[in-house]
Amino acid sequence: MLTRKQLYDLADPALPTARAEERQILIDLLAIEPHHVICDDPAWGGYLGEGLIGRVRDPKQIICVEPSVTFAAGINNAFTVHRAQQDQIPLADASVDRAASMVGLHHLPDKLGFIREMVRVLKPGGRIAFSEVGEDTAVARFLNGAVHRYATNGHRGMFVREGTCRQLLVDAGCTDIRETFHVLHWVFASETEMARFCYGLLGLSKATETQVLAAIHEYFAVEIVDGKVKLPWSLFYCVGSKC
């Protein structure tokens, strides 16, 4: 059986472009300036950070906090990397300008505790932005259905409802809060690339790529537009500022 790192590496050829729209929405919400220090938690393999290169003066301004040894090992060493528990950020109070989390809440029972920790490290006036899967969406059903069935450790995500993300920021003391729901796409050159990407990214070690492709079509209405395969995805995005 392939290791989690080997599975993730299978997704790597399509990684820079497949989720570009998903990442760009979050980057736009962050409104980053060249001098900003950014905390990305959890950083996974550093995917959000890679999209920030060139937006800041020094990649060391991109601070990746990642609890997983596997994912931390794959993060670009040009960034500042901390392997730490997601809700125990090893940074001083009011030490960063931006805090971001890309689909990082659904395995946390105490979501508010995590958001408060992110707000703690923000400077006054700093901005927090995050994305998360919504309850009763095709994405949620796919993750807790097919991914749970085929991933080595299963998948039991605790997803959010409309208004949940906004309330988290209200309870954490933020202002200027906006929550939006986006229907977007993961984009691939072929269905084979789509199946291989999901197989690797989501760690579906108990399935064949054929089974992964069948599962994708079971949950999603995949489109082919201008020769590109488009997997519909949807997420809540939320942004707010620290007082």
Contacts of 190 (CB under 8 A, 6+ apart): 229
CATH number of 50's domain: 3.40.50.150
- pLDDT tens figures, 106-148: 999 999 999 999 999 999 999 999 999 999 999 999 999 999 9
**pLDDT tens digits for 38-80?**
999 999 999 999 999 999 999 999 999 999 998 898 899 999 9
What is the pLDDT averaged over residues 184-212? Answer: 95
Model pLDDT, residue 15: 72
Q: What is the dihedral of CA 88, 95, 19, 109, to 10 degrees?
A: 30
Domain limits at 159?
4-242
What local confidence, expressed as pLDDT, does residue 8 receive? 65
Chain segment 141-166, per-residue pLDDT in tens: 999 999 999 998 999 999 999 999 99
pLDDT at position 12? 67
Say how many domains are in the chain. 1
pLDDT attached to residue 177:
98
pLDDT at 70: 86
204-232 residue pLDDT tens: 999 999 999 999 999 999 999 999 999 99
Residue range 14-46, pLDDT digits in tens:
677 999 999 999 999 999 999 999 999 999 999
